[in-house]
Structure 1
Amino acid sequence: MSQWEMIARLIISGVLGGLIGFERRSHFKEAGLRTHFVVAVGSALIMLVSKYGFGDMIYVNSVSLDPSRIAAQVVSGIGFLGAGTIIVEHQFVRGLTTAAGLWATAGIGIAIGAGMYIPGISATVLILVGLEIFNKFKKNVSYSVGKADLSADGVNAALDILKNSKIKISAVQVKRHFDKEENEVEARLNFRVYTKNKSEIKKIIVDLLKIPYVKNVNIE
């Protein structure tokens, strides 16, 4: 293989990875265009090295080569990078799709590096189309994350408001802690609100703030 064809494969990998990264960045995700671009180009480079980098050793009798061994490490190694995009906050997990996108981008880079242009390009198109379709579907059933800071004495009243609400509310979690400055037990209430109607969200905020023990409420 000529050096120019290798460069062409790197460029194609970078473009395909950049497309997925651009889609992720357009939705304000943790890993964007630059990260996906680098992952795709790096994966393609590793594949090229694995496949063509040891051609001078083929005719050495004491050496046996397995071209897939180096490239295979990309699949497991990219997991460490993907783990860095996953955020767990109060039982809410974010970044899984972006982590999966990085993993898939690495696979696309490997495919292009191996000369499998049609599968690599097809996978890119399929991922982009899938992300857009499911993102629109998600918006139709999207939820907002709510947080309320209050004294421990107001927890039951706040829970009653959420329970009696006509809007679907789930993933309710209460965390208590002792505030040394206030010398009292305080609580953080986390929950999900399944609605797009701003007036309904505002009503929940107002109802919670009516409780004397509630200090602040945020739903976004």
Structure 2
Amino acid sequence: MFILDLFFRLVAATIAGAFIGFTRERIQRPAGLRTHALISVGAAFLTELSVTVFAGNGGDPGRIAAQIVSGIGFLGAGTILKKGFSVKGLTTAATLWVTAAVGMGFGSGEYLLSSLVTLIILLVVIFFKPIDFLIGKKKWKLLIEAERRPYLLTDLLDILKGLEVEVTSIGIDTEGNETSLEIGIPYESLNILKKNLDKLSRIGGVKSVDVQ
């Protein structure tokens, strides 16, 4: 029965991690279903070892838990990508970290608590994004990566003006021969802009165009 309980802990951790990872997989993030499932079951297994083996031999079970937390922090940092004004991967890094915590919970036998935390994580990841937008992010950002050249911003603004897209803010970050532009646009202009992204991408020197 003891071995069976340990097995159920690993299975539950794997399933919980897979559910969390699926929320990242469906929007094509670098760490998806398999990564989160492996992190969760790995954290559960290490927690089981710390509780059943190391603690039984007079060791400190808290040492492995501390190493899991710090180790996942390094792994999560690898999913964060910053280029110019664009920062991606923060939510994925956070889900990796909290998935390890869920795995540790299942590994220590806390089925109910770990299941509740998994549900809360899914709630935050799936349903909080539109709420976050409604209460604090009513403006979109046009992110452009381009080669550094004269009149680049002028050409961009001329096209936006022709599309009747209002510009609420402009940010410029230059590094070497590359320029990153962050142009704020109101929510009402989003659909117009999305239909005409190809016009912006055809401007000389522009490498990528994205809306966030």
TM-score in terms of structure 1 length: 0.76
> What is the distance in 2 between the residues matched to 1:208 and 1:48?
53
Aligned to 1:128: 122
Gaps of 5+ in 1: 58-63, 179-186
Gaps of 5+ in 2: none
Aligned to 2:52: 52
Contact 1:148 1:215 in 2 (8 A): no
1:197 to 190, 193, 202: 190
> What is the distance in 2 between the residues matched to 1:156 and 1:91?
15
SS class of match (1:31): coil
Q: Note the alpha carbon deviations across 1:171-207, whole angstroms, 9 max, x for none.
A: 52142756xxxxxxxx635224444633245568758
> What is the distance in 2 between the residues matched to 1:201 and 1:56?
60
> What is the distance in 2 between the residues matched to 1:65 and 1:55?
5
Distance 1:56 1:144, change over 3 A: closer
TM-score in terms of structure 2 length: 0.79
SS class of match (1:173): strand
> What is the distance in 2 between the residues matched to 1:84 and 1:170?
30
**Percent identical across equivalent pairs?**
30
Distance 1:145 1:55, change over 3 A: same
> What is the distance in 2 between the residues matched to 1:171 and 1:138?
23
2:88 to 77, 87, 94: 94
Higher fraction of helix: 2
Indicate whether 1:167 and 2:166 are aligned. yes
SS class of match (1:45): helix
1:72 to 66, 71, 80: 66
1:157 Cα deviation (Å)? Answer: 2.6
Indicate whether 1:215 and 2:204 are aligned. yes
Distance 1:176 1:107, change over 3 A: closer
1:10-49 matches, within 5 Å, as 10-49=10-49
Contact 2:197 2:209 in 1 (8 A): no
What is the RMSD computed on CA atoms of the aligned residues? Answer: 3.2
Aligned to 2:9: 9
Larger radius of gyration: 1
Aligned length: 202
Q: Note the alpha carbon deviations across 1:103-128, whole angstroms, 9 max, x for none.
A: 00000000111111111101100010
